[in-house]
Amino acid sequence: MLSDDLKQQIQGAYSHFLEAKGLRARYGQKLMIADIARTLGGIVLDDEDERQSQGHICVVEAGTGTGKTVAYLLAALPIAKALGKKLVVSTATVALQEQIVNKDLPDVRHNSGLQFSFALAKGRGRYLCLSKLDTLLQQIDSPTPADPTQALYEEYSSGLDEQSIKIYQSMTEALAANDWDGDKDNWEEGFEDDVWRRVTTDHRQCTGRRCSNVSSCSFLKARDNITNVDVIVTNHDLVLADLALGGGAVLPAPEDTIYIFDEGHHLPDKALGHFAHHSRVLATSKWLEQSLKQLSAMLGEISGAGNVDRFGEQLPGALQDARTQLDRVYPLLQALADTIDDNERQLRYRFDGGIVPADIAELAEQIYQAFDRLEDLLGKMAREVEESMEDAFCDVPKVDLENWYPLIGNWQARAEANSALWFSFAKPDDPNYPPTARWITVVEIGGYIDLEVCSSPILAAGTLAGGLWSRCCGAVVTSATLTALQKFDRFCMRAGTPPDSCYDSVPSPFDYQGNGSLQIPPSAGDGGKVQDHTQALVDSIPELLKDELGSLVLFSSRRQMREVHEGLPMAWQGRVLLQGDKSKQEIIKAHKKAVDRELQSVIFGLASFAEGIDLPGKYCSHVVIAKIPFAVPDDPVEASLAEWVEARGGNPFMEITVPDACVRLIQASGRLLRTEADTGTVTLLDNRLLSRRYGQAILNSLPPFARRF
């Protein structure tokens, strides 16, 4: 139970904050603070500082304008300190991370009277690896490549171009002048992913404290900063990656942490991505062949380091065995791929019920064993090299060990990934749990066709329940969209939050009735009749938006978006900024610039423009939603989930498709009112909301705008 002392701390901090900022208390914000304080304040620790109580998770839906960040910080900070736990604030986007670190946390600390320290935590992949940059620049200056890992990426890139070389040289100069800290997000100029991937690393390739550049390592400096702070701001991906490593590898252990998951509706999908597996068969076979060619050169330079030679002698056989087993399964996979209908949007073969044919499952077992042996050998080699780097009497030069260690780590990571994938194909699912989705995708890379073999859990609930919710000291999940059809059922099914959690939906301070309206005009077509609906959009949009300065039109289909754009009069086409023609940031910048000059501007966007886009005031006074955003039916994970629900006697359309569409509509309509002073209209151009049984349930879930239908 929340102690009187903590109650007074939280109430005092809130009053202090409001007074210092000249603000009035918001009803929804007060409710949110109370929910969080009551939940986290009920946590009981034993003599070992481990949680002994249940009901330690708080799930709060709070709309735009509630002041979520201030609410969860003021409520959770005093309790985390009292319990002696770290507060980890996790977001889905870099933009919110930066807002919390650069604006919200300093604001709360300055105005609440609470004393705390904070730091930002990112994964290794966001930081420059100075050793890789040094090696790359040596490669540029030397006719003989110095980077032994270069061949690893031949399937993805064609070498260094002049522009890339200039970027790397600029990075070196910026580091030397202390004008850059090695953080990718702090590099002002843009670059392609390939450019960055060559100069960053992962935990398998990083030599850590053994690296000769350890004193200048951007990642280790950043990690050291988080050790002694009260609040760590990070992202969902890093939290999940840390949990996958057992917890406590980069971030504090879950048992020592109170988590705040802002933008929490993204967490289940992020988790699915972390526990999915995929591998391209021919590309992997090519990698194994390249590795065999590189092996003698590697062993020639690191021979004599510990027991490297003993394990190295076994590697050629292990590499060849893995390649042989892949070659055996490829014809069976190709035969399945040949049955795919060429008219499909994406060439995929999905195994019904996740069940793999016996002949493929048998070969998958052998492939798994081959990669498992390979991963084990490479792991042993990596440990020998690590120990040799610390051995002052090792005959092998440390520079050679450092050069080859990343390659061994990369091979190990790739073998581990293939082992996990083929294990998933070899082992049948436990009938007591949701099945795994398994499928093959035909991909074209560099002019040749390959088969990508994939597997993914259909729900992250079990993984999150066992690895996160049951282990953490406490957690708060918040977002503007956690309910669907006015219930938390969808989120619970996907995220696995315990039934004894606190669930609440607090009201937004916005005057939806007075400031916004929702309409479904008579001209709205049936979104299920694609051609007729597209023509109805072409006919309706110019009239709907003729008096609007800034507006946003959201589509569920790229093809329909382009067809509508092409069907508009030429004068209207010139006012439209089309997603895909420029980056999202460039489109928003161009849109605001046009509106500032009193020129009419309309953004045509897809799902990524329906969430996280902030166009306040005159920048968006009208949001047009083309149709109910039902999920594309060919997604293999969603198709497998629907199949499982149906097999258990459920209705996939009403239990999955409609709730998912409801959440997307709420997010889309949320683009209209971004501040309490905003006004405008949301127009839905799909009459199924009026003509279908499910339509009224969806409409009742939308923000309470004044209705015009």
Q: Residue 344 above 70 pLDDT?
A: no
pLDDT, residue 640, reads 95
Distance of CA 525 to the CA centre of its chain: 35
Given a contact cutoff of 8 angstroms between Cβ atoms, the answer to whether 622 and 552 are in contact is yes
Q: What is the mean pLDDT of residues 471-486?
A: 97
Given a contact cutoff of 8 angstroms between Cβ atoms, the answer to whether 682 and 517 are in contact is yes
Q: Residue 444 above 70 pLDDT?
A: yes
When pLDDT is cut at 50, 70 and 90, the band that residue 156 belongs to is very low
DSSP for 346-379, please give it: S-EEE-GGGPPPHHHHHHHHHHHHHHHHHHHHHH
H or E element: which one contains 31? helix 27-41
Residue-wise burial string across 161-185, b where 16 or more C-beta atoms lie within 10 A, e elsewhere: eeebeebbeebbebbeeeebebebe
When pLDDT is cut at 50, 70 and 90, the band that residue 362 belongs to is very high
When mean pLDDT is compared over 160-169, 179-188, 219-228, 354-363, the highest value belongs to 354-363
Residue among 99, 77, 98, 96 at smallest CA distance from 88: 77
Distance (Å, whole) CA 512 – CA 519: 13
Q: What is the mean pLDDT of residues 343-360?
A: 88
- The proportion of the chain whose per-residue pLDDT surpasses 70, expressed as a percent, equals 96
Q: Residue 431 above 50 pLDDT?
A: yes
Q: What is the mean pLDDT of residues 544-570?
A: 96
Distance (Å, whole) CA 57 – CA 670: 26
pLDDT, residue 345, reads 61
Tokens, residue 380: 């042993």
When pLDDT is cut at 50, 70 and 90, the band that residue 153 belongs to is very low
96-149, pLDDT tens digit by residue?
Answer: 998 999 999 999 999 999 999 999 998 888 899 988 888 888 776 664 544 554
When pLDDT is cut at 50, 70 and 90, the band that residue 219 belongs to is confident
Q: Mean pLDDT across the chain, nearest whole number?
A: 92
pLDDT, residue 41, reads 96
Domains detected in the chain: 4-117+229-272+461-506 (3.40.50.300), 124-216 (no CATH), 280-450 (1.20.120), 513-707 (3.40.50.300)
Residue among 481, 516, 518, 506 at smallest CA distance from 673: 516
Q: Residue 374 above 60 pLDDT?
A: yes
pLDDT, residue 145, reads 47
Instruction: Considering only residues 154 and 594, tell me which one the structure prediction assigns the higher pLDDT.
Output: 594
Q: Tell me the three-class secondary structure of 531-549, residue by residue.
A: HHHHHHHHHHHHHHCCCCC
502-532, pLDDT tens digit by residue?
Answer: 999 999 999 999 999 999 999 999 999 999 9
Those residues whose C-beta lies under 8 Å from the C-beta of residue 388, and which sit 6 or more positions away, are 302, 305, 306, 308, 394, 396, 401
Q: Residue 604 above 80 pLDDT?
A: yes
Q: What is the mean pLDDT of residues 593-606?
A: 97
Kindly report which listed range (211-220, 307-316, 356-365, 618-627) carries the lowest average pLDDT score.
211-220
Q: Residue 265 above 70 pLDDT?
A: yes
Tokens, residue 689: 């909301």
Distance (Å, whole) CA 437 – CA 640: 6
Q: Residue 286 above 80 pLDDT?
A: yes
37-73, pLDDT tens digit by residue?
Answer: 999 999 999 999 999 999 999 999 999 899 999 999 9
When pLDDT is cut at 50, 70 and 90, the band that residue 207 belongs to is confident
Q: Residue 198 above 90 pLDDT?
A: no
pLDDT, residue 158, reads 44
When pLDDT is cut at 50, 70 and 90, the band that residue 343 belongs to is low
609-653, pLDDT tens digit by residue?
Answer: 999 899 999 999 999 999 999 987 778 999 999 999 999 999 999
Distance of CA 96 to the CA centre of its chain: 13
pLDDT, residue 141, reads 65
pLDDT, residue 154, reads 43
pLDDT, residue 192, reads 81
According to DSSP, the residues that pair with 233 across neighbouring strands are 89, 120
Q: What is the mean pLDDT of residues 339-345?
A: 74
Q: Residue 306 above 80 pLDDT?
A: yes
